[in-house]
Amino acid sequence: MTHDNRNKKQIFETLPPEWDQALLPEIQDEIKRLNRKIVILDDDPTGTQTVHDLPVLTTWSVQTLKQELLNPGPGFFILTNSRSLDRQKACVLGLEIGKNLQKASELAGIKPIVISRSDSTLRGHFPHEVDEVARAMGDEDLPYLIFPFFPEGGRFTIDDIHYVAEGDDLVPAGQTPYAKDAAFGFTRSNLKEWVAEKTEGRIRADTVTSISLSDIRRGGPERVCDLLSGVKKGTACIVNAVSYGDVEVFVTGLIKAGEKGKQFLYRTAAAFVRVMAGVTPKGEFLSREELVSDSPSGGLFVVGSYVPKTTTQLAVLKEETKIVPIEIDVEKLLAQGGAALEIDRVTDLVNGGLEQGKDVVIFTSRALVAGSDAKTSLNIGQVVSDSLIRIVRGLAHQPRYLLAKGGITSSDVATKGLGVKRAMVTGQVLPGVPVWKLGTDSRYPGMSYIIFPGNVGDDNALAAIQKKLVQGG
């Protein structure tokens, strides 16, 4: 079913007024009182795009998870990078992490609230990886809670339709390029119908509970609590939201329902994560001084994302800045015996630019090379990502900072290129663009690592970051 585009300003003007009480302080108090730890399983590193001062783990042994559960703070991320895997491998990984987390929880004496954080445009291994984590933790009968709202990226849910903002318009998600993703495509914009589509009819659309904006803004936390308490096992609940105030009302009602014994399997975007963890907005973006090291080398941009937004941002970056552009020919990477030569060529050019103190951007050729099916497309993406990793490993000089564009790219650069095992989210450089401070076990301890999602930011976003961070800028 198709839905019409809607004018954002006009539709927002028709909505009920927001709940008039700030609820984040109450949420923070409840989290402390309940002694629950929020554990976010992030299917790529961009889930950290709304928070600060929370750790990110890229390993998940029982002992590591036990220690993190016992550490101070409201929660932590586990970077699974499962969106880069095929379904079977993602499910095996989910089961492994779930088992380890269950054991760590028993040892620490702390029951975590596990959130599966995924893409706000509804791409990813839902429901399959969520089911495996739940099975490992004995929670397989719980209903799903679906919350893809993410204002930093222009994702709003109104009348059960999930929208992607494009200029002044709200476009139904099922009618955007994201819905045509070779690995994670979908056709439905109505979240009730999307749940039915993704569960292959196991959950019918007419059995899915909806929390409307009227419920949230007129009924408040008590109405939300009542509705959530009535969600049956084996079904799902979807949530409408257009502001963080809506999220705060919902989470307050969710906590009330939880005290009555109601539990869910969470599949959400990053906005829900921030409120559920009780993180106060930082209020300002990180400064150049907080982002750039004193290394004499240039900064490095690594661009792997293929979405149209990234291609436009890359074009503006090359046109409006003095950054040194170095293109990687994907056809050569995929050709028999061609990858090594192409990787060596690009690595030499990157090292030459960095040594001269110049900022450099390496990017994959923009013509998308897709496979005949989802698995083949994921395999091609893995070849490209592995090549980017080999280039990063071949760096002869520590960059002043490093920016990676695209979820899979940024995850692989962090774990395989930089050896990150634990990092701290320090904040954002732009809305929805998180920054990590790399830990002591990484290749470049203390370096700022900027994680730029493929589908976030306006056309000038990459250029704006480079201009902010340029030497002497």
pLDDT tens-digit readout, 141-188? 999 999 999 999 999 999 999 999 998 999 999 999 899 988 899 999
DSSP at 83:
G
> What CATH number was assigned to the domain covering residues 6-276?
3.40.50.10840
* Residue-range domain boundaries for the chain: 6-276, 288-469
pLDDT value at residue 18 = 97
Chain segment 100-110, per-residue pLDDT in tens: 999 999 999 99
Q: Which percentage of the chain shows pLDDT scores above 70?
A: 96
Structure tokens that stand for 378 in this block: 């994921």
Cis peptide before 127 (omega within 30 of 0): yes
Chain segment 177-216, per-residue pLDDT in tens: 899 988 899 999 999 999 999 999 999 999 999 999 999 9
Q: How many CB atoms lie within 10 A of CB 336?
A: 5
Give the distance from CA 311 to its chain's centroid: 19
Dist CA 177 CA 167 (whole Å): 15
**pLDDT surpasses 90 at 360:** yes
Chain segment 131-145, per-residue pLDDT in tens: 999 999 999 899 999
Report the relative pairing of strands 448-452 and 402-405 from DSSP bridges: parallel
Chain segment 76-131, per-residue pLDDT in tens: 999 999 998 899 999 999 999 999 999 999 999 999 999 999 999 999 999 999 99
> What CATH number was assigned to the domain covering residues 288-469?
3.40.980.20
DSSP at 12:
H
Predicted TM-score (pTM) of the model is 0.91
pLDDT band of 381, cuts 50, 70, 90 = confident
Chain segment 458-471, per-residue pLDDT in tens: 999 999 999 999 85
> 230 near 262, Cβ under 8 Å?
no
Mean pLDDT of the 310-327 span = 95
pLDDT value at residue 472 = 45
pLDDT value at residue 374 = 67
Question: Quick one: residue 347, left, alpha or beta (phi over 0 = left, psi -120 to 50 = alpha)?
Answer: alpha
Chain segment 385-402, per-residue pLDDT in tens: 889 999 999 999 999 999
Q: How far is CA 43 from CA 50, 67, 130, 418, in A?
A: 15, 22, 11, 18
Element (H, E) at 398: none
Report the relative pairing of strands 144-147 and 265-268 from DSSP bridges: parallel
Q: What are phi and psi of 74, to 5 degrees?
A: -80, -20
pLDDT value at residue 335 = 83
Indicate the residue type of 345: R
pLDDT band of 372, cuts 50, 70, 90 = low
